[in-house]
Amino acid sequence: MSGVTIAPLHPSLGAEVTGIDLSKPVDEPMRQTLTRALADHLALVFHDQSLTPAQYLSAASAFGPPMEQHYSQHNMPDFPLIGLIWHRNGQQPAEQWHTDHTNRERPPAATILYGVEIPSAGGGTSVANMREAYARLPEDERRRLESLTTFNALDGHADTREEDRAKYDRPIEHPMVRTHPVHGSRAVYFHISKATHIAGMTPEASKLYMRELLDRTIDPAVVYHHRWRKGDVLIIDNRATMHRAHGDYDRSENRVLWRIIVEGDRPRLV
């Protein structure tokens, strides 16, 4: 712990961690410190990292076992647990608020992004504190939300491989409010695109309710906006946040991020 500092970046969420080189092994005391810091701050930023794919996977493992990503067409060829986020790889920026891989029985505890090539302007990533979004709702709406569940499946990307659809496109039910297994707090939890519907509601009514809820609860007071620098590692707590990319950059420039997701627990409300 000597020389390592954790400094808040925004009143609602986010902290910068300094004094640690993620290319080197993370020992157990540091792993526990970072795990607690992620649960408390919901997003951790490490600047000036220089990582090989193998080192990146090792560093990510401090937060949980890396898990398969279901858009395997975008995986790094020699390191399939690392996804490539790159517009020239056929992807569009994920500009809608979401939390990752809700179509999985045990969605990721964390999404980890490493900035490899960064455009000269724009292309940031915003993270919203859905714990605070939940706390700001009127009590009667919190109680209603706690009674709701979503059914989740793969959303409709045309280039999704058939083997991924076969493995990951069966309906998975999750609560719309989940309890954080480390922090013990509650947060709003859903993915508006992967949720086919809310139990007891039509798909159309479900989407309308989720969109209206996002519009009401996500505002600058609960959002940390990360402006990328080459060598940044951004770790997002997938259990109590939503995040989105910003496509406001020159597409003649590259924006290349390496993504790892790490295994989490089954969402539950206690």
Q: What is the mean pLDDT of the chain?
A: 95
Q: What is the pTM of this model?
A: 0.95
Sheet holding 223-226, edge to edge: 223-226, 125-129, 241-245
Distance CA 46, CA 62 (A): 14
What's the pLDDT score for residue 93? 87
CB contact burial 97-121 (16+ within 10 A = b; e otherwise):
bbbbbbbbeebbbbbbbbbbebbee
What's the pLDDT score for residue 152? 96
What's the pLDDT score for residue 2? 62
Question: Tens of pLDDT along the chain (270 residues)?
Answer: 468 999 999 999 999 999 999 999 999 999 999 999 999 999 999 999 999 999 999 999 999 999 999 888 889 999 999 999 998 877 888 899 999 999 999 999 999 999 999 999 999 999 999 999 999 999 999 999 999 999 999 876 667 788 878 777 789 999 999 999 999 999 999 999 999 999 999 999 999 999 999 999 999 999 999 999 999 999 999 999 999 999 999 999 999 999 999 999 999 999
Distances (CA, A) of 58 to 31, 61, 79, 207: 12, 5, 12, 38
What's the pLDDT score for residue 154? 86
Distance CA 102, CA 238 (A): 10
What are the tokens at 251? Answer: 């597409």
Place of tokens 């490899």: 116
In CATH, the number for domain 5-263 is: 3.60.130.10
Place of tokens 């090792």: 58
Could you tell me what percent of the chain has a pLDDT over 90? Answer: 88
Longest dimension (CA), the chain: 55
What's the pLDDT score for residue 189? 98
What's the pLDDT score for residue 157? 65
- pLDDT 10s digits, 209-243: 999 999 999 999 999 999 999 999 999 999 999 99
